[in-house]
Structure 1
Amino acid sequence: MKIERSIGNPAAAYAGAPDFDIELAWLQECTRTQGFELSREFWLRRAAFLDRLALREAESHGVEATAALIRFAESAASGLVVYDTAHHGLSPKGSDLVAGEDHRAYVREQYRAARLA
């Protein structure tokens, strides 16, 4: 899978995204719901939320100060890649999805596509 770098642009991907408070409330409600299954929507929205949060904090406080949050966002993005590999035939073995930042770009691409669908 080839990531289109223009789509991986955070401003384009997250234009019109819900406020952080609304998204956090949705994520918390999902995980509190008995019998909740971790759906693709959950993995995507969680990864996008953490990516957006890491971007915001890095802009405010610098990359070095937010390194742990950035790694957490990369881990969440990797979770979406793992989910899509298992359920949707994504193959991250190619050179396009080898690093955490590539996974975050994938999240942005998928978030934008889901919003436009």
Structure 2
Amino acid sequence: MFEIRVICNPGDTDRITAALADTFTTGTVRCLPSRHDDRARLYVAADHKSATTADTPESFRQDPETAYALAPSITSEISWTAYHSVGRPTGALLGREFWLRKAALLDRVALAEDEDQSADAVELATEAARRLIEFDRAGEEQYAGVPHGPDHPDTKAKPRGYVRQEYAAWQRHQ
């Protein structure tokens, strides 16, 4: 395992992060402003890819079963999110883990719903995904951003795919 530091233009971060993920097995990408100019600093924990690596981040965006394979039961996640939101009606002081787990929970509920009843569940899951994306854009905590960061056009087009990508990356590091 090693860490890679890249200093680049902010508009290139998604492309560079994706290229690093294609070449290495990467962990969470930390994106910070440069100390002296308008550039971005990327820090990525990486390791050499093995020939048998089948769990690429791109697959998590497409496959909810893979992204949520190690997730606790829906009932357990409901209890966890309820417990952590007590006394915080506006969501004040809730960290990224809360917003990620809540978005993943609502995504899983929407996936499990009957097609006839899923409109509300899909809407709630999409809104929770957008809340996570807003949180990640604010840069308060780290996000994986592989293959797409919170500012990427695919993230805006498929916010629930972003949740699956981020949940799978988070779960791998638990």
For normalisation by structure 2, the TM-score amounts to 0.56
Q: Distance in 2 between matches of 1:103 and 1:78?
A: 6
Whichever structure has more helix as a proportion of its residues is 1
2:79 corresponds to which residue?
25
Q: Percent identity?
A: 36
1:68 corresponds to which residue?
120
**CA separation of 1:32 and 1:44: change in aligned 2, threshold 3 A:** same
Q: 1:81 aligns with which of 133, 137, 150?
A: 133
Give the count of matched residue pairs. Answer: 108
| Shift in Å, 1:16 | 1.8
Q: Distance in 2 between matches of 1:91 and 1:45?
A: 16
Q: Is the 8 A contact 1:5 1:105 kept in 2?
A: no
Does residue 112 (structure 1) correspond to residue 165 (structure 2)? The answer is no
Q: Which runs of 5+ in 2 are unaligned?
A: 1-13, 19-56, 144-148
C-alpha distance after superposition, 1:79-111 (max 9, x if no partner): 00000000258552x422223xx1100100110
* AA in 1 matched with 2:165: E
Whichever structure has more strand as a proportion of its residues is 2
1:14 corresponds to which residue?
68
* AA in 2 matched with 1:22: S
| Shift in Å, 1:53 | 0.3
2:107 corresponds to which residue?
51
Corresponding residue SS for 1:38: coil
Q: Is the 8 A contact 2:103 2:128 kept in 1?
A: yes
* AA in 2 matched with 1:24: I
Which structure has the bigger radius of gyration?
Answer: 2
| Shift in Å, 1:73 | 0.2
Comparing 15-24 with 4-13, greater Cα deviation is found at: 4-13
| Shift in Å, 1:33 | 5.3
Q: Distance in 2 between matches of 1:107 and 1:50?
A: 10
Q: Distance in 2 between matches of 1:25 and 1:65?
A: 23
* Alignment root-mean-square deviation, CA: 2.0
Corresponding residue SS for 2:60: coil
2:153 corresponds to which residue?
95
Q: Which runs of 5+ in 1 are unaligned?
A: none
Corresponding residue SS for 1:7: helix
